[in-house]
Amino acid sequence: MVLKIGYATEHEQYSPTKLLDFTVLAEQYGFEAIWTSDHFHPWAHKGASGGFSWVWMAAAAERTKKVEVGTAVIAPTLRYNPAIVAQAFATLAVMYPNRIFIGLGTGEAMNEIPVGCEWPPFRERCERLEEAIKVMKLLWTKEFVNFKGKYYNLKKANLYTRPNKPIPIYVAASGPRSAEIAGKYADGFLTYSGLLRPRHLKEVLYPAIERGAKATGRDPKSIENALEIAVSYDEDFDKAVASCRFWAACLLPFTSKYPIYDPREIEAHGNMVDEKLLAERWLIATNPDEGIKKTEEYIKLGFTNIHYLSSSPDEEKFLK
Supply the residues annotated as catalytic.
39, 108
Cβ atoms of 78 and 117 closer than 8 Å: yes
Phi, psi of 218 (to 5 degrees): -105, 160
Quote helix, strand, coil % in the chain, to nearest 5: 45, 20, 35
What letter does residue 203 receive in the DSSP assignment?
A: I
Helix (H) or strand (E) holding 71: strand 68-71
Helix (H) or strand (E) holding 137: helix 122-141
d(CA 244, CA 241): 6
What letter does residue 92 receive in the DSSP assignment?
A: H
| CA 294 and chain centroid, separation | 20
| CA angle in degrees (0–180, nearest 5) for 234-236-237 | 90
Compute how many other C-beta atoms are within 10 angstroms of the C-beta atom of residue 77: 28
d(CA 112, CA 251): 20
Q: Are strands 188-192 and 33-36 parallel, antiparallel or unpaired?
A: unpaired
| CA angle in degrees (0–180, nearest 5) for 150-151-155 | 90
